[in-house]
Chain A
Amino acid sequence: MSPNYVITQKQNLSETVVRMEIRAPEIAKRRRAGQFVVLKIDEKGERIPLTIVDSDAEAGTITIIFQVVGKTTARMAEEMGVGDAFEVVQGPLGRPTEIENFGRVVCVGGGVGVGVIYPITKALKEAGNEVVSIIGARTKDLVILEDEMAAVSDRLIVCTDDGSYGFHGFVSVVLEDLIASGERIDRVFAIGPVPMMKVVAEVTRPAGIPTIVSLNPIMVDATGMCGACRVSVGGRTRFACVDGPEFDGHEVDFDLLTKRLRMYCEQEAEAYERHRCGWHGN
C-alpha cells in the first residue's frame, strides 16, 4: 500500500521546464528547504531525485520543477498531466539547508537550478538575512521564477548568456563584480549546472566567502544504501543523498562529479534519443 501521489497542477515555465504540484500530504508537512524527493513514474520507471521547490501543508501538496533532460523527465512533461499519479514519491530526503541569519547573503541560481535555490532563498529571507539574488539562463525564454525570486530577495539581478534579457553574461560575472565593488557578503549559495557552481566557487574562494553548493549526482535509493551518489568533498568520499545534497563549494571535486554524471550517457541515449548528460535531473 502506498498513498496516491496525484498531480494536482502542471504548468510549463518554458519550453523545456515544467512545474508540477503533487499530492503528498505528509511530505508537505515535514519538508524543509534544501530537501528533495525521489520520484518513480510506474513499475518500469527509474528513480530520480528532484528538489522540493515549495509545499502547501494545508493543501497537502509539494511543488517540483524539472527540465526535460532524459526519458523520465520527457515522459513527465509529455505524458503526465493533472489527475495522473506517480508510483513513488519518497521524501523528504537529504539534510535541510542550514538556515540562520548570516547577515548579507547572495543566492545564485542557474537554469532550472533557480527552482532549487528558490526555497532556500525564501528561508534565508524569512530568517532575517539581507538577500541579493542572481539568476541566469541561456536566453530570455528560459528564465524561470523571476517574480517569485524577486518577492523573496532584497535585490534581484537577472542574467542571460545571449543578452536577450537583463545583464548580458554569466551569473558568476555579476557575482565577481559585486565582490570587487567591496560589498560585504557573508555567505553565497550557488545552485545550477556543475560548471556554473564550479566557477562560482572559484570566484568566492580568493575572497574567502563561505559558499554552499547543492550537488545532483545520480542516485538510486537515496537513503544511503548504495553509494551511487558518492562525491568527493575535501578529499573524503561522501554520499550526497544523506550527507548532502549541500556541501562546501570550495571543497567539492566538481570534475569527478561531471565525470560520474556521464556514466550512463550511452544507455540514456539508447533509452531515449535525447541526452541528459551534463545536467542530470534536479
Chain B
Amino acid sequence: METERKQEKKEKIPRQAMPEQDPARRIKNFDEVPLGYSPETAVKEARRCIQCKKPGCIAGCPVEVQIPKFIREIAAGDFLAAARTLKETNSLPAVCGRVCPQEDQCEKECVLGKKGEPVAIGRLERFAADYERARGEVSVPPVAPPNGKRVAVIGAGPSGLTIAGDLAKLGYEVTVFEALHKAGGVLIYGIPEFRLPKAIVEAEVAYLEKLGVKIVLNTVIGRLKTVDDLFAEGFHAVYVAVGAGAPVFMNIPGENLSGIYSANEYLTRSNLMKAYRFPEYDTPIIRGRNVAVVGGGNVAMDAVRTALRLGAQNAYIIYRRSEKEMPARIEEVHHAREEGVKFLLLTNPVEYLGDDGGWVRGVRCIRMELGEPDASGRRSPIPVPGSEFVIDVDTVVVAVGTMANPIVPATTPGLETNRRGYIVTLDEWGRTTRENVYAGGDIVTGSATVILAMGAGRKAAAAIHKKLGS
C-alpha cells in the first residue's frame, strides 16, 4: 500500500540525537546540557514524521498542539511558521520543548514508536521556538481592543502566565500579582539554568508585557491585599495560580541540623538568588563535598545535579523504591548517571547525625524492599529490619514533595479547599466555590507538570471569557 511504502522509506532515518555538553565538562558549569538541533538536523528529524491522518500525538498533548502541522513546516524549512503554529495552542513552547515529559505524552503516542523510535517532537518544538527567539522575530499577535474587563491573576508561574497571555489577547486588562521579585514561578526559582536557561523565561515574560499584561512583583496576596480587596479594587475575576510551593520534610530526628535544606530552598538559593555565583551575588549556599538528596523526582534530580556543579565529590540520590518507580523523567535520571551521581535505591533515611556545632555529618539509612502495590499503583516500600547503615554527608537536600501554601485559601472566605489544602474546582474550567474566582495549576492538582498548569490556565481563560466577554 502507498502509505506503508512511504512509512518504510521514512523510518530509515534514525531519530536524530541531541548534541550535548560532555558530562565531565558540564558538571563544572551551569550552562544548558542539551545544545539544540541545527536547522539541518531539525529538518532531517522532521522528515521522519509520516503525517498520520489520525495523529495520536495531538491527543497525547494536554494542550493539543497541532504537532503534524508544525513538524511539516519544519520539514519544509519554514521555521517561523512552525513557531507560530506552536504558539496557537502553547504559549511557552521554548519551555515545554525542554521540560515536558514527552515520553509520557505526545511521543508515547507516536506511531513510529510502536516499532522503532518516536519522532523527537519535544526537540523539534524547542528548535522552532529557539529559532524564532534567536532571530528576534517574535511576533506579537493582534490584540483585541480593550473590552473594559479587568482580571487579576495571582502567581506568575506557567499557569498564571498562560491565562494572562490568553486574556490579554482577548482584550482584557490583566494584572499578575507575584510574591517573589521575578516572574516565572518554578521555571525561575526551581528548575536550574542547565535545564532551562532563565533568559528563555525572561523572554516569555517580556512577550506578555508586550501584549499589555501588567506584572506586579513583590506582592503576596493574602498579606498585602486579599482576594476580596482585588474585587473591591474593581477586578471582575480572579485566577488563583499560586502553585504547590510549601516544602515537605520527613519529620525524622536531626532534620533541622545546619546543612540540611529543602529542595525549594537549595534550588531557590542557586537559581533565583544565583548563589552558584557567590560572592559575585550576595546570597550564599553551602558547597558540600558529600551531598545526599532524598527523593526520586525531577526536583531531586535537579538538586543533585546542582550539588555536583557546586563542587560535590560524592552526590547521592537516596530513594526508597527502585529505579522503575522513580517519578523523574528518564532523561533526567540518565543525565544524572552520566554526571556521576550515585543512586542509593531501596534506601530511606531514618535519622541525621550532627556534630557539636549543629552541622549534619551523617545520615542513617535503612534498606527497603517492595511490597504490595499501594493506592497509586506503585509497590510500597517496607523497611528491612536490621539493615541500617550510615553514610558521611555534609549537606542534605530533602526533595520528597511539596504541599499547598495556605496563604491565599486562608484569607479568602468561601474558597473551599480539600483535605490536603488544595483548592477545590467545580469543573474542568477551573471554577471554584467562590463566584468569579477561578483556580488552576499545582494549587488545584498538587505538584504536577508545566504543561498541565498551562492547560488549566488556558481553560480558565476560556471560561472567564465565556462569563465576562461581550
Contacts and interface: CB of A to CB of B under 8 A. Distances in A.
Contacts of B406: 224
Contacts of A260: 256, 258, 358
Given A237-B249, A267-B278, A232 B256 contact: yes
Interface in B239-271: 245-247, 249, 251, 255-256, 258-259, 261-262, 264-265, 268-269
Interface string B339-366: 0000000000000000001100000000
Residue among A2, A3, A92, A268 with the highest chain B CB neighbour number at 10 A: A2
A71 interface: yes
Interface in B373-432: 405-407
A237 B286 CA distance: 22
Interface residues of B, number: 45
B278 A263 contact: no
Nearest to A261: B258
A198 interface: no
A26 B224 contact: yes
Interface residues of A, number: 43
B223 interface: yes
Given A44-B274, A87-B181, A91-B224, A256 B358 contact: yes
Contacts of A256: 256, 358
A47 B265 CA distance: 13
Given A72-B282, A88-B181, A224-B407, A30 B259 contact: no
Interface string B194-221: 0000000000000001000011111110
Contact of B286 (A71, A89, A263): A263
Contacts of B219: 90
A267 B284 contact: yes
Nearest to A231: B256
Interface in A87-108: 87-93
A117 B279 CA distance: 33
Nearest to A267: B284
Q: Mostly helix, strand, loop or mixed at chain B's interface?
A: loop
A92 B407 contact: no
A26 to B, nearest CB: 6
Interface in A32-84: 40, 44-47, 71-72
A93 B249 contact: no
Interface string A200-241: 000000000000000000001101111110101000010000
Nearest to B220: A223
A268 B286 CA distance: 11
Given A221-B179, A227-B264, A91 B223 contact: yes
Residue among B249, B264, B357 with the highest chain A CB neighbour number at 10 A: B264
Interface of B: 179-181, 189, 209, 214-220, 223-225, 245-247, 249, 251, 255-256, 258-259, 261-262, 264-265, 268-269, 273-274, 278-284, 286, 357-358, 405-407
